[in-house]
Amino acid sequence: MTAVYVYGIARAADKTEVQAPGVGADKAGVRRVVHGDLVALVSDVEAGPMVAARGLRAHWRVLEEAAAKATVLPVRFGTVMEDEKAVVDRFLAPRHDHLVAQLAGLSGKVQLSVKAFYDEDRLMLGVVQGSPAVAQLRERVRGRPKAATYYDRIQLGELVATEVERSRERDSAMLFERLEPLAVAAHSEPPGTPDAAVNAAFLVERSRVDEFSEAVAQLADEVEGRMRLRYVGPLPPYSFTEEQEAVGPWA
């Protein structure tokens, strides 16, 4: 008994043939389900549980490959429908106009991700220098047995965490100020790790990617030693895809 796994939606006219195998255990290939000017990229999967990690990997490889050639609206990981008819009747048809509008808005643009990570020593130094309260509490705690300073250490940690958060806000503002003007849209994502300073997604016209990259390179030079930048893309426009229909069927 098989079902259909859905990866993403694109314009039927765009080239979206994908070589990467699908998420199913037997790695059935990715194929197209066309409905008018829309196409859904799908593959057959067997009914039953899927191994999460392998599915994730396959899912991503399919999307990466498809998005390299065309604008693809990514679908949430793990989305399975009964069959191709369901894909058309319950997805492509009822949401046709919204999907077409989204694809039009994203056409010719790519998502680029810019993440900044702190050098921990420099960050901590800045925190201690910038906050007398931290410096004081740190003095109280240093060299004393850990059991005796439990409360103090928690308070110290809390203070430091607050200062780090402030630092993140300042650095995010700075990064956005520099890069947002070169993008069509910008979106802030949650920092993924304790040493993360900024996690920003930008929607950039393909024709302006080089210019954008140049600005990123310059920024990297400026923050050198204090932060390191990770610049990734092009990604499917995850951060700029509206997850659901904004209006109900009665509209």
The Cα 102–Cα 110 span in angstroms is 13
Question: In the structure encoding, which two tokens stand for residue 10, read together?
Answer: 């694109």
Cβ distance to other proteins smaller for residue 150 or 170: 150
The Cα 174–Cα 179 span in angstroms is 9
Per CB under 8 A, does 170 bind other proteins? no
> Least distance to other proteins from the beta carbon of 181, Å?
18
Per CB under 8 A, does 38 bind other proteins? no
Give Cα 130 distance to the centre of its chain. Answer: 32
Per CB under 8 A, does 248 bind other proteins? no
From 132, 190, 248, 249, residue interacting with other proteins (rule: CB under 8 A): 190
Per CB under 8 A, does 184 bind other proteins? no
Per CB under 8 A, does 25 bind other proteins? no
Cβ distance to other proteins smaller for residue 39 or 81: 81
Identify which of 95, 18, 92 has the alpha carbon closest to the alpha carbon of residue 60.
18
From 51, 93, 101, 133, residue interacting with other proteins (rule: CB under 8 A): 51
Q: Which residues contact 56 (CB under 8 A, 6 or more apart)?
A: 77
Identify which range of 10-18, 29-37, 173-181, 212-220 contacts other proteins by CB under 8 A: 212-220
Residues 115-154 that bind other proteins (CB under 8 A): 115, 119-122, 124-125, 127-129, 134, 138, 141-142, 146-147, 150-151, 153-154
Residues 59-118 that bind other proteins (CB under 8 A): 59-60, 64, 73-81, 86, 90-91, 112-113, 115
The Cα 88–Cα 173 span in angstroms is 43
Cβ distance to other proteins smaller for residue 107 or 129: 129
Q: Does residue 240 contact residue 200 with C-beta atoms inside 8 Å?
A: no
Instruction: Kindly list the distances between the CA atom of residue 130 and the CA atoms of 105, 113, 123, 148, 156, in Å, as whole numbers in the listed order.
Output: 44, 30, 10, 26, 14
